Structure 1
Amino acid sequence: MSHKNPRSGKSQSLTIVIKLGTSSICDEETNLPLLSNLSLMVETIVKLRSLGHRVVLVSSGAIGVGLRRLSMAKKPKKLSAIQAVAAVGQGRLMRMYDDLFSQLNQPIAQILLTRHDLSHVKYSIGVVPIVNENDTISVSEIKFGDNDTLSAITAGMVNADYLFLMTDVDCLYTDNPRKNPHAKPVEVVEDVGDLKERVVVSTPGSSLGTGGMATKLVAADLATAAGVTTIISRGSTPQNIISIVTNLSNVDPNSHVSSSIPIHTRFIAKNNPMMDKKWWVLHGLHTAGTIFIDEGAVRAVKLKSNLFAAGIVKCEGSFVANQAIKLVFEKHHVNENGKETVELITVGKGLVNYSSSEISLIKGCKSSEIEEKLGYIDCDFVIHRDNLAVLLKDSDENENN
C-alpha cells in the first residue's frame, strides 16, 4: 500500500480519518446532542480542508440520537428494535451534521456500510464523507462490531495518513487515571502487542474512563498494519487535531511527543504495510466460509503459490465465487497414551473463484479434471495468490513439517 509520508516536513495534502464516538456526540444520561463538541468538530474539519487536507468522518451516535427522539431511556435488546432506533436516529444525526456544515458552506455525503459494501465506497473530492455502520440492516455475521474497527478499515480503504480516535480522555494511560494516581500517559506506541503488557484494558470500562479502549487498541493494530499512523485524542477538543498534524510533520516517528503538542497517544504506522487487496481480504471482507487444506497446500501457499483444488480436503459454509473464505489446516497430534487430538491452524484468508458446492465437487482433483467434474472450467485454481493473505508464520510452518 503506497502512502505519503506524514513526517516529511513539507507542506502537503494529507488524508485524515476522524472517528467520533457516541460519548462525544450525545450525553450519556440524557442522550441530548453535545452541540458544542459537534460544532468544534465541524469547524476543525473545515479548517483542515482549508489547509488542503482530505477528511473523512466516521461518526457513531445514530442509536443515541434515536433513543432521544423516541423518548427511550435504554437501548433495546432485540436486534429489530435496535435497527428501528438506528433508522430514526441516523436521519436526525445527518440532519444535525448538515445544519452545522452548511453554516460553513461545506457539503457532506452520508455513507452507510456493512462489510459487503466496502468495495463500492469511493472518496468524493470537495465533499466530507460521513461514515457509519448501517445499523438499520446489519446482522451479526456482516457487521463490523464497533465504529473503532470501522474507522480503521475506512482509514485503510482511503489510504489515510492519519486515523484519529476521539474519546473522552487525552490519551492512553497505563491504568485508569481517575482511580490510579500513578497511572502514566503512553505517548508513543511502536507495537500494540507489547503495549498490552504495560496497560490495563482487560475489561470494558476498567480503564481510561470508558468502555472501549480495548477496541481502540484493536483499531490501532489494524490501521497501523495498513500503514496508517493512529492517534488517540480527546473528543471535546477536536481543534487539537490541527496542532498535532502540523507538528508531527516535523518530528521523528520514534520520538516522544513534544511538550508543544497537545497530549495524545501516537501509534506508529508499520514500515511494510500489507498490499491493498490482501489487507482488505484479511481485515475488511466478511468471512463467508472455511476451506480445509492439506499439508502440501500449506507449504505451497506459504511460498506464494496459487491454491489448487488438489490441495483442498473439504469446505464448510455456503458461499459463492468472489467471496472471502478462511483457509485452515488440521494438524493431528497423538499423545503418549495413543489418543489423537486435532489442532486447527488458520493459514490465511482469500477470495475464491468457485462456490462452496463447486469446491465440494472438485476438492482433491487436478486442474485438468475440473472440467470433467463440473462440465466447465472457470479457472485452473481456486484462489489466486494475489487474492490470498497468508497468516501462517515460518515457525508455524516448521511445526507442520
Structure 2
Amino acid sequence: MLDQPSMVHKNYLNQARPSTDSLTIVIKIGTSSICDEKTHFPLLSNLSMIVETILQLKARGHRVVLVSSAAVGTGLRRLNIDVKPKKLAAIQAIAAVGQGRLMSLYDDLFGQFNQPIAQILLTKNDLADRSQYLNAVNCFEELLDMGVVPIVNENDTISSAVRVENEIRFGDNDSLSAIAAGMVKADYLFLMTDVDCLYTDNPRTNPLAEPVWKCDDIQALREKIVVTAPGTSLGTGGMVTKLIAAELATAAGVTTIIARGSTPQNILKIITDESDLPLHTRFTAQDNPLIDRKWWILHGLKSAGAIFVDKGAYHAIVAKQRSSLLAAGIVKVEGEFAAQQSALVVHETTDESGQTKIVEIGKGLVNYSSIEIALVKGRKSSEIADILGYVDSDCIMNRDNLVIIAPRDN
C-alpha cells in the first residue's frame, strides 16, 4: 500500500485508468491556494493557472466542476479584518461578504476567455431530501451539458460548523468536493493543497516523512501514517479531512488525487499516460461503487436514531450483504424517528478487556417508526400485523434501502 516511488511508478502506469476520451473531473482548491494566509490578498498567479488548466481540460473534451474555498479569506480582505474570528455568526457574515467578491474574481478570469460559470451553494440539509438531491444532480448535469463550469462552495452563511459524530458535515469543503464528485459521477477528484502529496508524517517537522504514491485501502493507511496537521489559519481542512474525502469519493467509484494547488497544470499530466509523473497521491476507486440511491442514503441523510441487532442478525446482514433487516434480530431502539427516516444499524459487543463496543453495521431507511419497531422487536415478521394492527412491510429495512458499512465476515 505504501509503495516507494521507484517501484510505484512502474506499477502505477500499468494500472487501468478511466478513459481519457471524455472525463468528468472535480477540482477542489483550498484557501491556501487562493488567498495569502497573512494579507488575505488573492494569489492571482495561482488563480490564473487554475483557470487556464480548467480551460485546457475543457478544450480536450473533459467536463470540469470547481469546488472553491476562500469565501472567508476574501471577506476578511474586503472588511480589512486581520484575523479570522471564532464566533460562528461573524464567520458566516464575513463569508457572505466574501462569496460575492470571490465569484466576481472568477467571473473576471474566466470571462477573459468567454467561459461561462455558475455558482452553486450547498449545505448538507439541501441534500437530505431526495427530491432536492435529485434537483441538484440534474442542475449539475444541465450545466455541464451546456459547457458551463459550476463553481461550488458550502453555503457558509447558513451552514453550521458543528461536527456531529457519525455524520458528514461539509465545513472543510473537502467532504463537499467528494459529495459533488459522487453526484456528477466523476472519474477524478483532485484535492489540491499546499503540499505535493500525502506523507507518512508531517514533512515540515519530520525530515524522514515519506510520500505515499498510491493507496488501495484507506483504513489500513490510517494505521500506518500520522495525519494531525489541522490546516492553515484561514482554511478548516488538513490531511485528516482529505482522507475522509478520499474515502467518500472512492466509495462512489471516483479516483481521488492529492496534489499541490500551486501547480494545477500537473492535472493534465496525471490524467494522461505521461512517463514522468509529478509527485502526488492516488487513491484507487472501489471496484463496486455504491449506486446513486445508496450513496444518497449513506452520505446525504442524517441518522435520526439507531437500531441495535443481535449477533445472528449482524452476521446475516454482513455475510450475505443483501439481507433485509427483520424484526426478529432487533434487541433495542434508540432515538425517535418516523417511517422512511434514516437510522443506523448497530451491534453491541464487548472486547477482550470487557469494554462495551458498538459496531456500525449499516445505515438505511426504515419502514416503521421507532415506536413501532420497539413494539415488534424480537418478534417474527408474521406477528407484526397482530401487534400493530396492520403491516406495511415484512421487514424493518428493505435490503435495497440498506447500505452495509461493516466489512464482510470471513
Superposition TM-score tier, normalisation by shorter sequence:
0.7 to 0.9
Give yes or no for contact 1:307–1:384 (8 Å, CA) kept in 2: yes
Q: Where does residue 59 of structure 2 map in the other structure?
A: 50
Give yes or no for contact 1:162–1:231 (8 Å, CA) kept in 2: yes
Give yes or no for contact 1:334–1:341 (8 Å, CA) kept in 2: yes
Note closer, same or farther for the CA distance 1:333–1:47 as it changes in structure 2 (3 Å cut).
closer
Match of 2:405 among 369, 386, 391: 391
Task: String of CA shifts for 1:196-231, please: whole Å, max 9, x gaps.
Answer: 45543234369xxx9602222222233223222111
Q: Where does residue 347 of structure 1 map in the other structure?
A: 361
**SS state of the match for residue 109, structure 1?**
strand
Q: Where does residue 380 of structure 1 map in the other structure?
A: 394
Q: C-alpha root-mean-square deviation of aligned residues, in Å?
A: 3.0
Q: Distance in 1 between matches of 2:189 and 2:225?
A: 21
**SS state of the match for residue 36, structure 2?**
coil
Q: Distance in 2 between matches of 1:179 and 1:299?
A: 45
Q: Distance in 2 between matches of 1:356 and 1:322?
A: 11
Within 5 Å, give how 1:108-119 maps onto structure 2: 108-118=117-127, 119=133
Q: Where does residue 4 of structure 2 map in the other structure?
A: none
Within 5 Å, give how 1:227-266 maps onto structure 2: 227-247=253-273, 258=275, 260-266=276-282
With structure 1 as the length reference, what TM-score do the two structures score? 0.82
Note closer, same or farther for the CA distance 1:88–1:328 as it changes in structure 2 (3 Å cut).
same
Match of 1:172 among 179, 191, 198: 198
Task: String of CA shifts for 1:102-127, please: whole Å, max 9, x gaps.
Answer: 22222222222222323232223222
Within 5 Å, give how 1:259-274 maps onto structure 2: 260-274=276-290
Q: Distance in 2 between matches of 1:317 and 1:78?
A: 30
Whether 1:30 aligns to 2:43 is: no
Note closer, same or farther for the CA distance 1:175–1:333 as it changes in structure 2 (3 Å cut).
closer
Q: Distance in 2 between matches of 1:159 and 1:91?
A: 28
Aligned residue pairs: how many? 375
Tell me the CA shift for residue 173 of structure 1: 3.0
Within 5 Å, give how 1:10-159 maps onto structure 2: 11-118=20-127, 119-120=133-134, 121-122=136-137, 123=140, 124=142, 125=145, 126-139=147-160, 140=162, 141=164, 143-159=169-185
Tell me the CA shift for residue 57 of structure 1: 1.0
Tell me the CA shift for residue 18 of structure 1: 0.5
In the alignment, structure 2 segments of 5+ residues that lack a partner are 1-14, 128-132
Note closer, same or farther for the CA distance 1:180–1:325 as it changes in structure 2 (3 Å cut).
same
With structure 2 as the length reference, what TM-score do the two structures score? 0.81
Whether 1:289 aligns to 2:289 is: no
Give yes or no for contact 1:348–1:390 (8 Å, CA) kept in 2: yes
Q: Where does residue 309 of structure 1 map in the other structure?
A: 327
In the alignment, structure 1 segments of 5+ residues that lack a partner are 1-5, 249-257
**SS state of the match for residue 97, structure 1?**
helix
Tell me the CA shift for residue 361 of structure 1: 4.5
Q: Distance in 2 between matches of 1:364 and 1:105?
A: 64
Matched to 1:345, the amino acid is V
Between the two proteins, what is the percent identity of the paired residues?
63
Tell me the CA shift for residue 247 of structure 1: 2.5
Matched to 2:289, the amino acid is P
Q: Where does residue 3 of structure 1 map in the other structure?
A: none
Q: Where does residue 340 of structure 2 map in the other structure?
A: 322
Note closer, same or farther for the CA distance 1:10–1:379 as it changes in structure 2 (3 Å cut).
closer
Give yes or no for contact 1:133–1:143 (8 Å, CA) kept in 2: no
Matched to 1:105, the amino acid is N
Q: Distance in 2 between matches of 1:181 and 1:371?
A: 66
Q: Distance in 2 between matches of 1:374 and 1:132?
A: 46
Note closer, same or farther for the CA distance 1:229–1:372 as it changes in structure 2 (3 Å cut).
same
**SS state of the match for residue 273, structure 2?**
helix
Note closer, same or farther for the CA distance 1:30–1:319 as it changes in structure 2 (3 Å cut).
farther
Tell me the CA shift for residue 289 of structure 1: 1.8
Q: Where does residue 255 of structure 1 map in the other structure?
A: none
Please, which moves more after superposition, 293-302 or 233-242?
A: 293-302
Matched to 2:25, the amino acid is I
Note closer, same or farther for the CA distance 1:64–1:11 as it changes in structure 2 (3 Å cut).
closer
Match of 1:191 among 217, 221, 224: 217
**SS state of the match for residue 110, structure 1?**
strand
Q: Distance in 2 between matches of 1:74 and 1:375?
A: 61
Tell me the CA shift for residue 70 of structure 1: 2.4
Note closer, same or farther for the CA distance 1:311–1:178 as it changes in structure 2 (3 Å cut).
closer
Q: Distance in 1 between matches of 2:121 and 2:355?
A: 44
Tell me the CA shift for residue 167 of structure 1: 0.8
Q: Where does residue 252 of structure 1 map in the other structure?
A: none
Please, which moves more after superposition, 386-395 or 130-139?
A: 386-395
Q: Distance in 2 between matches of 1:333 and 1:266?
A: 35
